[in-house]
Structure 1
Amino acid sequence: MDIFCDMSGAPDSLRERLDEYRRIFEHALAGRERTGGGIRFRFRARPGVEAWVRDLAARERACCAFFAFEVTAQGDEVLWDASVPDDAAARAMLEAFYALPETGHLDPQGLLT
């Protein structure tokens, strides 16, 4: 499997996507953690958050096909699990994804280098 992201067919730009991540993190992020197979974002299950997370996960999967995502609701949280193949480039992308709560406000070009 090729390890690359292609947003050329996406309905939004990279900057718009990062802004959306910033908004959902500010609105509902309850925490994040590393899991045995990848990472997990935990969101407060406020009205509309599960659908918002599912939509973001689907759009991410469309442009970054090497990611595996699973979104589940548990109690008062929406869990977004992400994993990648055992590949150095894929793991680097997973680390960048995990860092989004701190880096999503940066210039998109700086995230890609």
Structure 2
Amino acid sequence: MQIPPASTPVACDMSRARDTPGERLAEYRRLFGRALTARERTAAGIRFRFRAEPGVEAWVRDLAAREKDCCPFFGFEITVEGDEVRWEAAVPDTAAAKAVLEDFYALS
């Protein structure tokens, strides 16, 4: 996973997004309610684990791409392991980026 350099601004800009912040949060709730099985901390950051049901991998990849577009300080990696989709996230080692990562981990 490519983690952006510490010089990357810690800012989220949804001005070009096709959804609003409220719609994005609602989408996370739908995805997590449908398929999230676990969340965990890793050496590099965090990991969300989802059931690999039809459409979930594409949904996770699309959501991760849109999140990366508005929050470029995130590094994301999506993998499929057996019956599971894994979304790993990491940020530069700065206090501001780590605080946003904690908020991301707490999404529900």
TM-score, normalised relative to structure 1: 0.89
**What is the CA–CA distance in structure 1 between the aligned matches of 2:63 and 2:28, rounded to whole Å?**
9
Matched, 1:9 2:16: yes
| 1:29 shift after superposition | 0.2
Aligned to 2:85: 78
| 1:99 shift after superposition | 0.2
**What is the CA–CA distance in structure 2 between the aligned matches of 1:96 and 1:4, rounded to whole Å?**
13
Aligned to 2:103: 96
RMSD: 0.4
Letter in 1 for 2:79: T
**What is the CA–CA distance in structure 2 between the aligned matches of 1:60 and 1:75, rounded to whole Å?**
25
Identity over aligned residues, as a percent? Answer: 67
Q: Structure 1 regions of 5+ residues with no counterpart?
A: 102-113
Match of 2:42 among 35, 40, 43: 35
The answer to which structure, 1 or 2, has the higher relative contact order (CA under 8 A, 6+ apart) is: 2
Q: Structure 2 regions of 5+ residues with no counterpart?
A: 1-7
Larger fraction in helix: 1
| 1:44 shift after superposition | 0.3
